[in-house]
Structure 1
Amino acid sequence: MTTDTTLQKSAPAPSITQAAAGALIAAVHSAAARIGFTAAVAVTDPGGHLRAFDRADAAPFLTAEVALDKAWTAASFRTTTHTWNDYLTDPRIAPLAGHPRLMAVGGGYPIIDDGRCVGGLGISGGSYEQDQQAAEEALTALGFELPAP
């Protein structure tokens, strides 16, 4: 039996550009300064691999690892990190809390462009509300879509 269709063995994977990742970091630092905190900012590709990173001089060293894990979590599950607090109350999902990279703290957002996740953004340095606010401001300023609540 022959068919006219050929098996497609791969699909193009959209990913945030280096220029957009750098612009996001700059936008986050601007928002954080306006809000009143210093931050570490991580941007990953959709697979959770680091694409760009910066930690402000005054940001504590632990913020570097936390920002990366927030970006990884957001990209991995295509959802904000603050939503994980509710998810982890479900005993069927709670075992994921033991995953060493899962970060259920506000400040991690999937980077969504034209309806597709192109990466993850993680911010650490302020309160979880400040991290979330800076993320939303930066994503909006650059024309990325915010995930549905």
Structure 2
Amino acid sequence: MSTTETAVAPLTTQEAEALIDAARAAAEAAGVTAAVTVLDAGGHLLAFRRDDRAVLIAGETSSRKAFTALQLNAPTADLVEAVQPGGPFHTLPTALDRPLLFIAGGVPVRRGDRLIGALGVGGGAPGQDHEIATTALTTLG
């Protein structure tokens, strides 16, 4: 008996730009100066934008949040407790060559049930970054 997998279209540059635009609009509505990163399923940069007024580190945090959400296929907001002392992922933030960042603001991007990329937002409070990211995801339908 053979199984077949249905091909899933990858995240496109056009979709990545739409995510950036939606995140920027959500950030502006929330009064947050943010940086936004979109990665494809392989962890490669598809789109990035940092508000001129955002702190410089927001670019790094948005990228790391996206990478973390991609690698663990979960919103970073859902992983914060797992890296606390005694948590199952306590040593994970420093275990890899490319550090993970367990702060809310990173979300996986899925098409159906398939992981096709990730979105990271940095610059606001963690809850604000998470809200901006999840709001932006609604643009993909």
TM-score w.r.t. the length of structure 1 is 0.83
| Deviation, structure 1 residue 91 | 4.7
Number of the residue aligned with 1:98: 94
For the aligned residue pairs, the C-alpha RMSD in angstroms reads 2.0
* Unmatched 5+ stretches in structure 1: 6-10, 144-149
| Deviation, structure 1 residue 95 | 1.3
Aligned AA for 1:85?
A: V
Number of the residue aligned with 2:110: 112
* C-alpha distance in 2 between matches for 1:119 and 1:15: 8
* C-alpha distance in 2 between matches for 1:14 and 1:65: 28
TM-score w.r.t. the length of structure 2 is 0.87
**Aligned counterpart for 1:140 among listed residues 122, 138, 141:** 138
Aligned AA for 1:122?
A: G
Return closer, same or farther for 1:17/1:41 CA change in 2, 3 Å cut-off.
same
8 A Cα contact 1:74 1:80, kept in partner: yes
* C-alpha distance in 2 between matches for 1:28 and 1:55: 11
Residue pairs, 1:4-43, within 5 angstroms: 14-43=9-38
| Deviation, structure 1 residue 35 | 0.7
- Paired residue total: 136
**Aligned counterpart for 1:65 among listed residues 60, 66, 70:** 60
Number of the residue aligned with 1:8: none
8 A Cα contact 1:73 1:108, kept in partner: yes
* C-alpha distance in 1 between matches for 2:111 and 2:14: 14
- Identity percentage over the alignment? 37
Number of the residue aligned with 1:126: 124
* Unmatched 5+ stretches in structure 2: none
Number of the residue aligned with 1:51: 46
Moved over 4 A (4+): 11-14
